[in-house]
Amino acid sequence: MEQFDLKKDLKVDPSDLDNEFLRQPELTEHYGRIAVEAQFVYEDAKTAYDVLFAQMVDQKRADYEISGQKISKPILEHLALRDEGVQSLKADARRSKKAWELAKVAFKAIDQRMSVLISVGAKERKMMDAGAGLHLNTPEHSRGRKHGNYTQGHVHNETVRVKSSIHDMVGKTPSFGRKTPG
């Protein structure tokens, strides 16, 4: 079984993006499961604390009623909190809540790792395209960037064709609205 180390698992190796993308679902599942398990542990600890606390309050109330004394609820709760068993369960609930909160943070960090992978992948793709000397205004590389019914590359090619036609008709470079000396 593979060992998981959050610090290591959050790192992204740009030179091995394929494996990084393939590993992401496993990491998401692992840290998500830890967060859910931590939530259940916290809820169980909190329930155990609440039950014992309520029982201790009832016991203290019964003890004082037997002796004929009336005591306020805040004092009963304070007395119940002094019980070692209640203190122990309260500490367990506090520790388990902290573990649950940390597990949620770890899960969120792993989830955000996917955004980092996408960004790094896009940057790598852009660098590869630029390194290959691709001309993004050509029809075959404009991939759906449309202006009306034409891609950017098509518009660029049509503009060049129109300029060439005007140049052929006039016999000189077109001015496109500028006055030419005549």
The DSSP bridge partners found for residue 150 are: 147
Q: Above 90 in pLDDT, residue 143?
A: no
SS3 for 151? strand
Q: Encoding tokens for residue 160?
A: 């060049």
What is the structure's pLDDT at 180?
45
- pLDDT category, 3, cuts 50, 70, 90? low
Mean of the per-residue pLDDT values of the chain? 79
Closest by alpha carbon to 150, among 139, 161, 140, 160?
139
Within the chain, strands assigned E span 146-147, 150-151
Percentage of the chain modeled with pLDDT above 90: 57
Quick: pLDDT tens for 58-100: 999 999 999 999 899 999 999 999 999 999 999 999 999 999 9
Is the whole model's pTM more than 0.75, yes or no?
no
Task: Give the number of other CB atoms < 10 A from CB of residue 56.
Answer: 19
- Eight-class DSSP state of 16: G
